[in-house]
Amino acid sequence: MAGTVRTYLLLAWTWLRASAQYPGPLITMTIGSFAVHALDVVAIWVIFEHTRSLAGFGPAEVMFLYGTAGLSFALGDMLFGNADRLSHHIRTGGFDAMLIRPVGVFVQTAVDRFGVQRLGRVLQAVVVLSIALSRLDLPWSRAWIIPPMILCGVVIFASIFTLGGALQFLLTDAPEVANAFTYGGSALTQYPLSVYGEELVRGVTFVIPLAFVNWQPALFALDRQDPFGLPSWLRFASPLAAAVLAGAAALAWRAGVRRYRSTGS
């Protein structure tokens, strides 16, 4: 594991050094990413210009949900989001080259074209979360859950990226399918799940565990009752959900690599 992490960091540093050769576009893309995603906060502001609460949650609480979901997704996307570009490597024959290198193919795929420009989204989420926490003033007896919540959220999104990549061994045009669960999942978790139907919430709790990115642990942090009456122990089940999904993603990835046959290029 230590060797894998070291290899990832070395490859990421190589891509960062290459990007740094053109600082102008790099800075512009980072600022642009920050500004574009800041528009999501404007949307929240517009909503609360017309209502006092959203499904019973106030502005600071919604910003808390947005910030935690946004930070988890941004980190997962920055570190492992390139896994959803696997079909590109398969079509161009680049994946064949990865297989003969003395580095794991998952590490190579995940770190490919690693770019600091995605840091703009991370910084934007950090700013929103910081503002929300300053307004909520959560006691430490409940605030302790925030770091593990974000860590588990990163693992969940990284696992979904990996599952989406594994699917591309079967369907080379599968990125759009994966995006429905990665980018779509990020948008879904930015708001209280109580605004959605009960069947959808149960689906993202017991089938695709997006509810454990922030919703279930946030109910504990915000001292809220579950609007759907689900068991209270689910608020602490994010590590279990992340571990199960990560295990499934690892198995799917290994099965895809074993199934892969060279493109002949």
Backbone angles phi, psi at 57, to 5 degrees: -110, 135
Helices (H), 51-174: 59-80, 86-92, 94-99, 105-111, 119-136, 140-143, 146-167
Identify whether the C-beta of residue 202 lies closer than 8 Å to the C-beta of residue 133. no
Which letter does DSSP use for residue 54 in this model? Answer: B
Per-residue pLDDT of the chain (265 residues; tens, 9 = 90+): 666 778 777 777 777 777 667 777 667 777 777 777 777 778 888 888 888 888 889 999 999 999 999 999 999 888 887 777 787 777 777 788 888 878 888 888 888 777 666 777 888 899 999 999 999 989 999 999 999 999 999 999 999 989 888 888 877 666 666 777 778 888 888 889 999 888 999 999 999 999 999 999 999 999 999 999 899 999 999 999 999 999 999 999 999 888 887 766 5
> How many Å apart are CA 180 and CA 186, to the nearest integer?
9
pTM: 0.89
54 strand-pairing partners: 57
Residues 34/41, Cβ–Cβ less than 8 Å: no
Are 190 and 43 in contact by the 8 Å Cβ rule? The answer is no
For residue 225, give every residue at least 6 positions away whose Cβ sits within 8 Å of its Cβ, in sequence order, or none: 219
